[in-house]
Amino acid sequence: MSVVDRQEWDVVVVGAGGAGLRAAVEARERGARTAVICKSLFGKAHTVMAEGGIAASMGNVNSGDNWQVHFRDTMRGGKFLNQWRMAELHAQEAPQRVWELETWGALFDRTKDGRISQRNFGGHEYPRLAHVGDRTGLELIRTLQQKIVSLQQEDFRETGDHESRLKVFQECTVTRVLQEDRKVSGVFGYERESGRFFVLQAPSVVIATGGIGKSFKVTSNSWEYTGDGHALALLAGAPLLNMEFVQFHPTGMVWPPSVKGILVTESVRGDGGVLRNSEGRRFMFDYVPDVFKEKYAESEAEGDRWYDDPDHNRRPPELLPRDEVARAINAEVKEGRGSARRRLPRRVDPDARRGDQAPAALDVPPVQGAGGRGHHGGGDGGRADLPLRDGRHRRRLRHRRRPRGAGTVRGR
């Protein structure tokens, strides 16, 4: 007979990425005894692979930015299919979350006058992405991990036990959300190393397990993203919504095989990188939807001027929302204008150069090492041609919940 270890907690958080750890911190600070379940090692969640930054309308680089503009950009980018209240809350509260992370020790890049730096990203009218080089997700997890440890140290000083109020269960997999009388009562799972079963009883369960990236052959996601959380929610009776909304990041590397699926961060385009097909043409000007034409440049010259004078020029179409850029890349490849270089899969290239400017890729270390003719490649110092293809990145599908995150399956 298998022995099942049982423990009682106030809150169980399934998932230890950025969302899961932040939920655990909030629960613990509100007095709840909180358990966090990691599918892998603590600090190894997929969040560490996020590169670009955190969208927050702080207005540090352009004072014209505010939460209303951020909200408008979000709704427009989502074709107005968004749950508007969630989009509104995100736009309103994002700056507070960034400042909170800084208070907890996150080391964001700075502007010359010492404020948190913000960079351009697709679909954002103003520079909005607070960032830490190209490793923003890693810094976010480091900061939240340290916050968890600091709370455990506080508990040790008060109770003599680091894990009396906040405990992390590493390398564990949850297979069911338990219910009593159709109300959530905890989770059932097992330790991967020993195979030991366990039950964590709790009246509240937070599912923060990430996406479904490993359902696809090529993905930027880590191995943990297998859709466990969606299955847990569905089996517990929560309806799943928006299953068709799977985001494909426009610029994922395809060559050499060792880097296949790794993202070329959007900041490369935000800092001046452009997309060219096998004919050497900047094809994105052919793919600007009518709803965006008012905001995007009609010519290469205007798009290039925007980097130095954004108040009197429109942004280049390489900075359209990700879904638009990904569809354009896919269309070019299907039309036969992907790269035909020998032994390379079909793809398009981001030429990290506009005019005679220095390559924008120089500030992005993974790009430096992979570009055959980039800064470290020994060739033309003004170019960094990289083979790219759109790749599975994030999921927009979710189980139904209220704007503040409460689910539809009641707890005890």
* Residues that are catalytic: 249, 269
CA–CA separation, 178 vs 200, rounded Å?
9
DSSP SS3 for 18: helix
Contact 220, 353 (CB under 8 A): no
All residues at 6 or more sequence positions from 4 whose CB lies less than 8 Å from its CB, including other chains = 197, 198, 199
Give the E-state strand segments of 254-355 in sequence order. Answer: 274-276, 349-351
Pairing of strands 11-14, 34-37: parallel
DSSP SS3 for 241: strand
Which residues are paired to 276 by β-bridges?
A: 349
Contact 43, 21 (CB under 8 A): no
All residues at 6 or more sequence positions from 342 whose CB lies less than 8 Å from its CB, including other chains = none
* End-to-end Cα separation, the chain, in angstroms: 29
The two counts, helices (H) then strands (E), for the chain are 9, 17
Buried b (16+ CB within 10 A) or exposed e, 64-90: ebebebbbebbbbbbeeebbeebbbbb
Neighbours of 150 (CB within 10 A): 13
